[in-house]
């Protein structure tokens, strides 16, 4: 299959290229340097030229606080950009996978969100991803919307690296206890998406490592398994942590649709342990 991946230089995009390599797919990866998805004509023309049978739209503006400061830019990049890709895909009858977020939910449920629970984003980033979902659904009947959350990857900057760096430098740690979601290893998400590529069943999927935890529990597990069990963390409430964006307080995702077609992910604890092991940081 001819597969096009946007955001190919990002952590998820590069993991997808690695996972799909050697699986009898003709792969093309592009990034913002090659294509600005906010430009509809350029997006349509390049996708027509590449002529993929499948597009995985992993490119996004994921700076949640940045989106809160520039909400219109977030809508254009994450919303209309996804719509442009989906319209271009529909024009050549290509299937499109759109990567969305747990932040399309408001966090008011007391159980993990399922694929067809009502969305109600409470911040500009979540709203921009929700707009992207709507535009993809309207533009292309051959779509698969994949929501995920709290991604951690090798390289770059994410929650695990920030916690470990602060601990190693002896900085005081304060982590919120009232923000709960599903930590997800980018490599595991890429493997699940690789399975989804071979499944024609369109619709909405939640692909996250199983289980959920608070930011505090996440940080504590990381430190305890990386040899920093002696490092204290001060538990705080989100109200005392000033930031531009307000995340949904409880937004774990439940993978029902994926399970139906045989796609499951391991627990977030096992995923964190695997991540630390590959980094050479796992301590028994």
> Which amino acids are annotated catalytic?
125
Asked if 184 contacts 208 with a C-beta cutoff of 8 angstroms, the reply is yes
CA angle 217, 219, 223 (to 5 degrees): 115
Cβ count within 10 A of residue 239: 9
Report d(CA 278, CA 275) in Å as an integer. 5
Asked if 61 contacts 32 with a C-beta cutoff of 8 angstroms, the reply is no
Closest CA to 275 of 214, 215, 231, 209: 209
Report d(CA 11, CA 19) in Å as an integer. 12
Report d(CA 107, CA 248) in Å as an integer. 4
């Amino acid at each position: 299959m001819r597969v096009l991946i946007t955001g190919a230089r990002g952590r998820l995009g590069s993991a997808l290229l690695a996972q799909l390599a050697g699986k009898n797919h003709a792969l093309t990866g592009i990034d913002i340097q090659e294509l600005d998805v906010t430009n509809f004509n350029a997006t349509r023309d390049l996708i027509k030229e590449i002529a993929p049978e499948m597009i995985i739209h992993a490119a996004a503006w994921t700076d949640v606080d940045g989106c809160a400061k520039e909400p219109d830019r977030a809508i254009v990049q994450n919303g209309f950009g996804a719509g442009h890709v989906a319209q271009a895909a529909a024009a050549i009858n290509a299937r499109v996978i759109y990567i969305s977020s747990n932040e399309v939910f408001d966090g008011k449920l007391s159980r993990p969100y399922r694929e067809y629970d009502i969305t109600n984003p409470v911040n500009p980033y979540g709203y921009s991803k929700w707009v992207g979902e709507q535009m993809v659904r309207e533009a292309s009947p051959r779509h698969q919307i994949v929501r995920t959350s709290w991604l951690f990857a090798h390289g770059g900057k994410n929650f695990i690296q920030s916690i470990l760096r602060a601990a190693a430098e002896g900085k005081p740690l304060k982590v919120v206890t009232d923000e709960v979601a599903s930590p997800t290893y980018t490599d595991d998400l890429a493997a699940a998406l690789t399975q989804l590529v071979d499944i024609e069943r369109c619709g909405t999927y939640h692909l996250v490592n199983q289980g959920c935890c608070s930011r505090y529990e996440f940080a504590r597990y990381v430190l305890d398994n990386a040899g920093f069990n002696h490092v204290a963390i001060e538990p705080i409430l989100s109200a005392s942590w000033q930031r531009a964006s307000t995340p949904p307080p409880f937004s774990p995702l439940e993978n029902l649709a994926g399970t139906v077609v045989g796609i499951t992910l391991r627990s977030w604890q096992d995923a964190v342990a695997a991540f630390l092991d590959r980094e050479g940081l796992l301590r028994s």
